[in-house]
Structure formats: structure tokens, C-alpha cells
Amino acid sequence: MKNKEYTLITGASSGIGKALAFRCAARQMNLVLVALPCTGLRETAEEISEKYGTDVKIYEADLTENSIAERIHTWCEEEKIQIKYLINNAGMGYAAAFETVKMNFFNTMMKLNMNAVVAMTHAFIPDLKKISGAGILNVSSMASMLPIPNKSVYAASKSFVLSFSRAMYQELKSYNIHVSCLCPGAVPTSEQVKERMRNGGWIHKLFSSKAMTVAEKAVSRFLKAKPLIIPNYADNIVFQISKLIPANIRIALMGRIMGFNKSK
């Protein structure tokens, strides 16, 4: 009989989310892909389905809308889709001095990076509890590890995701639901990151990874129930060393390494 359990991935139309979809399908997982309308989600679903022979459904929606998590959940119930793994990947970032960014942008970013993660988790936990070995993978960032000048709200939103994931790991483990938090460094998905890598020299290359590499490591370690996933070796070393350095020095150093310590 065909496996009717699904992995739901938000932000699956591009970047890390799309790569996660490919790596999950390569493990014969059926998928529900969520992203904004008209972003090529259907084409991605067809490509994956053709390549791996798994069932791939799509749900086009803006995750910053109120009650959208409940609507996605209701749709899954109606379609008899049983979610075993929930991957909260959709997110957005920026790199600019705080006061130069419009408040509307921050509101949207906070809704997507934090509210949507909480709402999707809240909506699907009752279902995950019914399946043995279910799991949640939240996509945070290395930016979650410390405040980053000129990425202040983004870094804070990703700290939220990391903190939330760690707490949920403890809360849900007695239900046999594992929660992992993925913390990638730079991944050349947007023009912004690509440009930084082009101009940043070897240090930026050392701290960056391809989306497919990140996704493969993420899925593999998520299925092993690792609570914290840092896919890039250089990031991991810096993370371990940074624990020994006082916070104010770490923040100044990080700003310098990332090239974000100056606002102009």
C-alpha cells in the first residue's frame, strides 16, 4: 500500500526550501510544498514527482496572513494528508541599518520568521502526536547565535526560532516527536548573498555552503533527531570557539567578519 504520510515544507519554491524538497523526495517522502502564489511551485512539484516518483502536493499561500496555518491544516484534513514531518523553512532577511528599513518590512519579516513558525507548529502538533517518530525541522540561521549589527531584527527573529525549537524539543520528546533547528551560514540563494560572496573573498566562501549541501546535511541529521544542525564546518568551529569569548567582543568580531559592522 502507498505510504500516505507527508512532509510539509514552507518556502519550498526556491533556495534552501526547494533543495530540502528534493532531498526529502530522494528519500521517498511524499511532500506538501507551501509558498507564495505564482512562484513556480507547481513546476517544482512536477519536476520532483517525475524525478523521484513521490506524491507532491502544493498549497499556495502567504504565510504572513492571519489564520493561514489553520487553513493549511484544515485543507490537509480535507485532502486526507497526514503530516509526519513539518519543515518551517520560509523566511526573509535584509542587511541595512535599522532606521533605514521601513517598519512595514520589519512587520512582515517578523510575521514570517516567527509567527508563522509558531502557528504552523501549533496547528500540526495534534497530528504529529498521532504518528510514531514524527518531527519538526525549523530553519534558523547562524545569525541566531548572537546579535548582528545591520541585521538586528533578522538575527533576533532567528534567535527566537532557535530558542523556540530548543524548548519544543524538550516539550515534545515524551510524545516521540523530535524537533531540530537548522542553522546555516551564508547560502547563495538571493542576489544579496551572491553579491556578498563575489566581493567577500575567501572568508565569505569558507563560511558559505550551497543550498543542496545544506539541505542534504539538514535532512540526514534531522532524521537522526539531532536538535541543533550547523551544516558548515567553519561555522561550527567558530560556534564552538565563540562560546569562550565574552559576548561584547563576539558581537564586534561577528560584525567585522560578516562585513556588517559599519552602517555606511
Ligand X SMILES: NC(=O)c1ccc[n+]([C@@H]2O[C@H](COP(=O)([O-])OP(=O)(O)OC[C@H]3O[C@@H](n4cnc5c(N)ncnc54)[C@H](OP(=O)(O)O)[C@@H]3O)[C@@H](O)[C@H]2O)c1
Is 149 a binding residue for ligand X by CB under 6 A? The answer is no
Q: Could you give phi then psi for residue 66, rounded to 5 degrees?
A: -65, 145
Instruction: Give min distance, CB of 110 to ligand X, in A.
Output: 12
Q: Is 52 a catalytic residue?
A: no
For residues 13 and 39, the answer to whether their CB atoms sit within 8 Å is yes
Is 62 a binding residue for ligand X by CB under 6 A? The answer is yes
In sequence order, which residues have a C-beta less than 8 Å from that of residue 116 and are 6 or more positions away?
10, 63, 64, 68, 69, 88, 90
Among residues 24, 25, 35, 81, which is the contact residue for ligand X, using CB under 6 A?
35
- Which residues lie across from 82 on neighbouring strands? 5
Helix (H) or strand (E) holding 49: helix 41-52
Instruction: Given the residues 6, 52, 59, 154, select the one marked as catalytic.
Output: 154
Find how far residue 33's CA is from the centre of its chain.
13
Separation between Cα atoms, residue 48 and residue 31, nearest integer Å: 9
Alpha-carbon separation of residue 33 from 18, 26, 51, 90, 219 (angstroms): 9, 15, 16, 11, 16
Q: Which one of 5-13, 128-136, 163-171, 233-241 is the stretch in contact with ligand X (CB under 6 A)? A: 5-13
Q: Which is closer to ligand X, CB of 1 or CB of 38?
A: 38
Is 135 a binding residue for ligand X by CB under 6 A? The answer is no
Rounded to 10 degrees, the C-alpha dihedral 19/65/62/154 comes to -50
Is 93 a binding residue for ligand X by CB under 6 A? The answer is yes
Q: Which is closer to ligand X, CB of 80 or CB of 156?
A: 156
In sequence order, which residues have a C-beta less than 8 Å from that of residue 96 and are 6 or more positions away?
150
Among residues 8, 63, 87, 219, which is the contact residue for ligand X, using CB under 6 A?
63
Query: Quick one: DSSP state of residue 34?
Result: E
Separation between Cα atoms, residue 47 and residue 99, nearest integer Å: 42
Site string for ligand X, 202-241 (x = CB under 6 A): ----------------------------------------
Is 76 a binding residue for ligand X by CB under 6 A? The answer is no
Q: Which one of 98-106, 126-134, 188-196, 199-207 is the stretch in contact with ligand X (CB under 6 A)? A: 188-196
Is 47 a binding residue for ligand X by CB under 6 A? The answer is no
Is 253 a binding residue for ligand X by CB under 6 A? The answer is no
Instruction: Give min distance, CB of 129 to ligand X, in A.
Output: 25
Q: Which residues are catalytic?
A: 154
Contacts with ligand X by CB under 6 A lie at 11-17, 35-36, 39, 62-64, 89-93, 112, 139, 141, 184, 186-187, 189-190, 193
